[in-house]
Each structure stands twice: as C-alpha cells, then as structure tokens.
C-alpha cells in the first residue's frame, strides 16, 4: 500500500520563522506552465523549487518548499494548481493509499474538476 504525502507542514527549524511546508508537484506542468524552471523560481520568489525523487511519485516531479503561508499563496496560482492537480490525479489513479479511508472523494472530485 502506498504512503505518498503530497503536502506536508512542519514545525520551524532552529533558523526558521513560522511553520514550513513542502509539496510535490508535476515538474512538467510547473516548468511548462511558467516557461521553464527559472521562470517558475521567479514567479515563486519566496519558495524553493527543485527537482525531486520522492518515493512513489515517479520521475515527473518537483519539490516546492518554504514558509507555509507562502506555499498557501502559491496554491492560488493557476500554474501551481495545474501542477498539483496533475500529480494528484496521477497518484490517485494508481490506487489506494495507506490513509485512503480518510480521503474526501467529493472534495477530490471538485478539486480535480471531475463530475461526482
């Protein structure tokens, strides 16, 4: 059973202010939507955007991380939404995860733009 976490919020480290967060997104959608990695970094200046090799997400993934409030702002950008949605749809299509009973399928359908 898969244990993939796509969005994680952590306590701040010793040199950090406020909660920190990370999310795994589809690299092709992020870089393609912004017009390249540097353009993605320019559009999200307060966040770190790097390639990722997180388990179970496949080769098409990038890690976006930083302060949780900056990550929340980024989730309002249509390119970021598309990159999150593409990875989520791909992962959900692979079957259940360890915490599948806690998933809200109506919310997932709404976020992914699917008919219920």
pLDDT bin (cut points 50, 70, 90) of residue 18 is confident
Which domain range does residue 88 map to?
A: 7-111
Alpha-helical (H) ranges within 15-67 are: 27-34, 37-43
Task: Report helix, strand and coil shares of the chain as percent, to nearest 5.
Answer: 40, 20, 40
CATH number, domain of 16, equals 3.30.1370
Q: What is the pTM of this model?
A: 0.78
Question: Are the C-beta atoms of 52 and 60 separated by less than 8 Å?
Answer: no
Within a domain: 116: no
Give the separation between CA 84 and CA 72, rounded to whole angstroms: 12
| 78 vs 21, residue with greater confidence | 78
Question: Is position 47 within any domain?
Answer: yes
Say if 95 falls within a structural domain. Answer: yes
Domain count, the chain: 1
Q: Establish if 36 belongs to a structural domain.
A: yes
Tell me if 107 is assigned to some domain.
yes
Percentage of the chain exceeding pLDDT 70: 79
Does 1 fall in a domain? no
Higher pLDDT, 97 or 94: 94
> Does 2 fall in a domain?
no
Task: Work out whether the CA dihedral 10, 109, 61, 35 comes out positive or negative.
Answer: negative
- Per-residue pLDDT of 51-85, as tens digits, reads 998 777 789 999 999 998 999 899 999 999 999 98
Q: Which residue has the tokens 């496949």?
A: 58
């Amino acid at each position: 059973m898969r244990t993939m976490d796509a969005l994680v919020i952590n306590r701040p480290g010793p040199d950090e202010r406020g909660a920190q967060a990370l999310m795994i997104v589809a690299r092709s959608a992020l870089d393609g939507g912004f017009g390249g990695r540097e353009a993605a970094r320019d559009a999200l200046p307060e966040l770190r955007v790097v390639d990722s090799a997180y388990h179970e997400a496949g080769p098409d993934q990038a890690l976006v991380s930083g302060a949780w409030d900056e990550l929340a702002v980024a989730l309002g950008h249509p390119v970021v939404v598309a990159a999150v949605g593409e990875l989520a749809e791909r992962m959900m299509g692979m079957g259940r995860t360890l915490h599948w009973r806690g998933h809200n399928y109506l919310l997932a359908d709404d976020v992914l733009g699917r008919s219920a």
